[in-house]
């Protein structure tokens, strides 16, 4: 159940000394020629590894991915880009690949230069440690404030999709302070990987939030090497799309469940909107509302906060459509509002899971969002992050 679950993939995770007492450098590579793609943050302040990896994807098919934690290598100017290029070049030399065939990812503190000497020395150790059993070590090496590793794998119809991810805070599309590496032994053509990855990301990593903050470094990478040897058919193509989406959803749910200071996992379901885009805008506004999230922390079904957030969802230069006389709302299956009229019910929201269902009664649009509560510990973790 890891990034090395598909055939023909190796991984490692080692301590290079970037972080004080934790693994902090990971390598993932395909043993046989692969094709691949990636999706990156839309934040206009983009980290050096994002800039370099984008350029590499334009000139070559990725065969390996090098990831460091502890330092984001963001807001580091030309020096940061040179360090990212040097990382890719050394990984390529060690793995007998062209530098352009290596994607580089970083996560950690923004504005700090990458300790390149430690990274380059660590790459030599990581290359030696590559193993088909190295997935768990790699998943550990990419963590920052995470409290646990995030891994997933799905096998069906003779192929496997595997993956690992990190993310705990600064989580909000598009994408978030999260990194994900996905691997598969399903055969793909070079020009179709992105079109298969995009819908899987949209329903998973791009539909979660912890704190509404969009990062400088986030990326989701996919490598496909065809090592399963299966023959493609329309049926197996459909199965692959389902498996890829399932792994992405699993990893994204693990990210939110491990949100910094999180004690409650909340599913926001919006239906009856004018269209799906307006539904998504409303779901995102509810999921990121500090007042909704603090009420979740207090196990308080203060549902007026949900309505207030829904009615102020930015959309297309204005606000998404909401008619207060048509709205119905439920918490954990208990209806609290019916067509704009309160029912006087007090739902049970005492456990660590909450499902909020909002029906706008305006059309056929719908959207889902996964979020967490906002706790005292979230403030403590982020107040003390560098110290």
Q: What is the pLDDT of residues 254-286, one digit of tens each?
A: 888 877 778 888 999 999 999 999 999 999 899
* Rounded-to-integer distance, Cα 197 and Cα 192, Å: 9
Domains defined for the chain, CATH in brackets: 9-257 (3.60.70.12), 265-383 (3.10.20.340)
How far from 326 is each of 205, 307, 359, CA to CA, in Å? 31, 12, 8
Q: Would you say residue 357 has pLDDT above 60?
A: yes
User: Is 144 tagged catalytic?
Assistant: no
Q: Residue 381 above 80 pLDDT?
A: no
- Look at residue 383 in the predicted model and tell me its pLDDT: 74
| Residues 181, 151: Cα–Cα separation, whole Å | 10
pLDDT at 253: 85
Helices (H), the chain: 48-59, 77-95, 116-129, 135-141, 193-202, 234-257, 276-288, 290-297, 304-310, 376-383
Q: How many residues does the chain have?
A: 387
Would the CA dihedral through 315, 220, 54, 85 be positive or negative? Answer: positive
- On average, the pLDDT of the chain sits at 91
Residue 188, pLDDT > 90, answer yes
pLDDT of 174? 52
Range with lowest mean pLDDT among 125-129, 199-203, 320-324: 199-203
The 10s digit of each residue's pLDDT in 32-60 is: 999 999 998 877 778 999 999 999 999 99
pLDDT for res 208: 77
| Stretch 310-328: mean pLDDT | 92
Q: Model's pTM, two decimal places? A: 0.82
The DSSP bridge pattern shows strands 353-359 and 265-273 to be: parallel
Q: How far apart are CA 130 and CA 139, in angstroms?
A: 13
Candidate list 41, 177, 183, 371, residue with the active-site label: 177
| Average pLDDT over every residue of 97-115 | 94
Is residue 168 predicted with pLDDT exceeding 90? no
How far apart are the C-alpha atoms of 297 and 259, rounded to whole Å? 13
């Amino acid at each position: 159940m890891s990034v090395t679950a598909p055939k023909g993939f190796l991984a490692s995770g080692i301590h290079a000394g970037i972080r004080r007492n934790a693994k902090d450098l990971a390598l993932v590579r395909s043993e046989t020629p692969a094709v691949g793609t990636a999706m990156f943050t839309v934040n206009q302040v983009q980290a050096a590894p994002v800039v370099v990896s984008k350029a590499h994807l334009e000139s070559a098919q990725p065969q390996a991915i090098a990831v460091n934690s502890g330092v984001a290598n963001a807001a580091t100017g030309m020096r940061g880009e040179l360090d990212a290029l040097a990382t890719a070049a050394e990984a390529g030399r060690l793995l007998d690949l062209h530098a352009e065939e290596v994607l580089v990812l970083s996560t950690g503190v923004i504005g700090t230069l990458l300790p390149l000497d430690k990274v380059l020395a660590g790459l030599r150790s990581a290359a030696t440690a590559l193993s088909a059993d190295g997935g768990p070590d790699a998943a550990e090496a990419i963590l920052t404030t995470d409290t646990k590793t995030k891994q997933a794998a799905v096998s069906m119809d003779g192929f496997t999709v595997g993956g690992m991810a990190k993310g705990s805070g600064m989580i909000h599309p598009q994408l978030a302070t999260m990194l994900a590496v996905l691997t598969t032994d399903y055969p793909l053509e070079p020009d179709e990987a992105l079109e298969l990855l995009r819908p899987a990301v949209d329903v998973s990593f791009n539909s979660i939030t912890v704190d509404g903050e969009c990062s400088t470094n986030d990326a989701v990478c996919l490598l496909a090497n065809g090592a399963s040897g299966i023959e493609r058919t329309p049926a197996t193509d459909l199965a692959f799309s389902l498996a890829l989406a399932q792994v992405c959803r699993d990893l994204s749910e693990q990210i939110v469940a491990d949100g910094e200071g999180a004690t409650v996992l909340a599913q926001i379901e919006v239906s009856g909107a004018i269209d799906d885009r307006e539904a998504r805008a409303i779901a995102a506004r509810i999921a990121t509302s500090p007042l909704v999230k603090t009420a979740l922390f207090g196990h308080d079904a203060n549902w007026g906060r949900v309505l207030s957030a829904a009615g102020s969802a930015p959309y297309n230069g204005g606000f998404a459509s909401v008619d207060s006389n048509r709205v119905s709302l439920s918490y954990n299956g208990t209806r609290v509002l019916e067509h704009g009229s309160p029912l006087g019910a007090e739902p049970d929201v005492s456990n660590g899971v909450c499902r909020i269902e909002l029906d706008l009664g305006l059309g056929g649009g719908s959207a889902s969002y996964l979020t967490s509560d906002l706790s005292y510990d979230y403030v403590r973790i982020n107040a003390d992050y560098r110290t």
